[in-house]
Chains A and B, each alone.
Chain A
Amino acid sequence: MKRNLPFIIVAAVALVTLASGAMLYRVKRMQLPVVSDSKLPSGTGAESMHIRGNPDAPVTLEEFGDFQCPPCGQFASFGEQLLKEYDSRLRIVFRNFPLSAHEHAREAALAAEAAGLQGHFWEMHDTLYREQASWSKAPNARELFESYAGTIGVNVDQFKKDIDGEKVKQRVESDHALGDSLGIKLTPTIFINNHPVDPKDKNPEGVRAAINAALSGKSQT
């Protein structure tokens, strides 16, 4: 018996490790956002949506993003590439989902919305992601946001008023509430034609495959 004991111990540990890993994997997969038809994101709050690309495109890529989140920054530049690739067949919708773990994320979302009131949402969106490394660690990010507003052609005095205004706050909060209702915990969370993209497929190949599937689904109907 003693001769076999190390084999039994090692086999038991291997089994326990594999079983607990598989269980953890299942639990984490069950935490993915599940979208019911009544909560389809791109159909909600259409008047406040920020759309890039052809507004009537057959495929909508909707992102819940946080301006201080590095993967969201990486995804933003990939999004521009996708728009060039798919041209009029794709539109991108951005929703604010600032995470509380990120010190300046909420203020950045407010800045983007304040610029949006003057028709410069996407310029601010791009600038915030491009300059993410600078303002993320700045003690007073607000000053940097104001300087970005000046460089993208926003009226800075109006921007300063708007960033503290109720309208901008409501837009950020309503996006966040929508994300919460969908069970979103991570950013970026991506939906393609209202179907969530699996986090493990949040890579160029996975997203392209999801868009192509949505396009072929549209062409069949």
Chain B
Amino acid sequence: MTVARFRTVLLTLAAIVSLAGLADATYLTVQALTGETVSCGGSPDCFRVLGSSYAKVGRVPLALLGAVAYFSVFTFATFAAFGYARARTLLIPTIGAMFLITLWLLYLQAFVLHAYCRYCLFSAAITFLLAGLVIAIPSPDAK
């Protein structure tokens, strides 16, 4: 397999993986908009995480920002897979920022809220996978 082909395969994989994150974040956004996150009835631990003050930035649910981030990753990865060099340069800092925010959110769950929400853990796993994929993508100089 050529380096270019390998790069395209990894970018395609990143685009597909980001769709799973987009689905997860969309679900959580709907939950936040319908007010389910300020109620009990699902997982008690999820309430502690999703109903906490950390789950919103101002009045905007964090999940909505997550959905925008995953959609951006999908867009950049798709365009990069089709050879748009600019998209690849945008993909790396976007996933880097998501990775750092994910570390912060995991810290909050573990040491501040003492509760883990499975949807948030799934999102963290997706971000780590995306970070792994983006690291594995050969640079444009590689032959």
Secondary structure dominating the interface of B: helix
The answer to whether B79 has its CB under 8 Å from any CB of chain A is yes
Secondary structure dominating the interface of A: helix
> Closest chain A residue to B70 by CB distance?
A17
Please give, as numbers and ranges, the residues of chain B lying within 8 Å of A68 by CB-CB distance.
Answer: 40, 44
Q: Within B76-106, which residues are at the interface with A (CB < 8 Å)?
A: 78-79, 81-82, 84
Q: Judging by beta carbons under 8 Å apart, are A187 and B41 in contact?
A: yes
Q: Judging by beta carbons under 8 Å apart, are A21 and B41 in contact?
A: no
- Report the count of interface residues on B (CB-CB < 8 A): 30
A-B contact number at CB 8 A: 87
Q: Judging by beta carbons under 8 Å apart, are A13 and B74 in contact?
A: yes
Known: A5-B82, A199-B35, A200-B33. A66 touches B27 (CB 8 A): no
Q: Judging by beta carbons under 8 Å apart, are A199 and B30 in contact?
A: no
Please give, as numbers and ranges, the residues of chain B lying within 8 Å of A201 by CB-CB distance.
Answer: 35
Known: A25-B34, A200-B34, A202-B35. A10 touches B40 (CB 8 A): no
Report the bound CA distance from A202 to B33 in whole Å.
Answer: 12
- Report the count of interface residues on A (CB-CB < 8 A): 34
The answer to whether A101 has its CB under 8 Å from any CB of chain B is yes
Least distance between B108 CB and chain A CB atoms (Å): 16
Q: Judging by beta carbons under 8 Å apart, are B71 and A14 in contact?
A: yes
Contact flags B17-49 to A (C-beta < 8 A → 1, else 0): 001001000110111011110111111100110
The answer to whether A163 has its CB under 8 Å from any CB of chain B is no
Please give, as numbers and ranges, the residues of chain A lying within 8 Å of B35 by CB-CB distance.
Answer: 198-202
Q: Within B36-69, which residues are at the interface with A (CB < 8 Å)?
A: 36, 38-44, 47-48, 51, 67
Report the bound CA distance from A7 to B97 in whole Å.
Answer: 24
Q: Judging by beta carbons under 8 Å apart, are B26 and A69 in contact?
A: no
Least distance between A175 CB and chain B CB atoms (Å): 16
Q: Judging by beta carbons under 8 Å apart, are A29 and B71 in contact?
A: no
Known: A28-B36, A29-B34. A186 touches B41 (CB 8 A): yes
Known: A21-B29, A25-B30, A70-B51. A199 touches B38 (CB 8 A): yes
Least distance between A70 CB and chain B CB atoms (Å): 6
Least distance between A13 CB and chain B CB atoms (Å): 6
Known: A10-B74, A17-B67, A102-B44. A71 touches B36 (CB 8 A): no
Q: Judging by beta carbons under 8 Å apart, are B82 and A10 in contact?
A: no
Report the bound CA distance from A13 to B76 in whole Å.
Answer: 13
Q: Judging by beta carbons under 8 Å apart, are B38 and A203 in contact?
A: yes
Show 16 residue pairs from A and B whose CB-CB distance is below 8 angstroms, ordered by the A residue.
Answer: A6-B78, A6-B82, A17-B26, A21-B29, A24-B26, A28-B31, A71-B38, A71-B51, A101-B41, A102-B44, A185-B41, A186-B40, A187-B41, A199-B38, A200-B33, A201-B35
Closest CB pairs A-B (n = 7):
A199-B35, A69-B40, A200-B35, A186-B41, A186-B39, A6-B82, A28-B34
What is A's interface to B at a CB cutoff of 8 Å? 2, 5-6, 9-10, 13-14, 17, 20-21, 24-25, 28-29, 66, 68-72, 99, 101-102, 185-189, 198-203
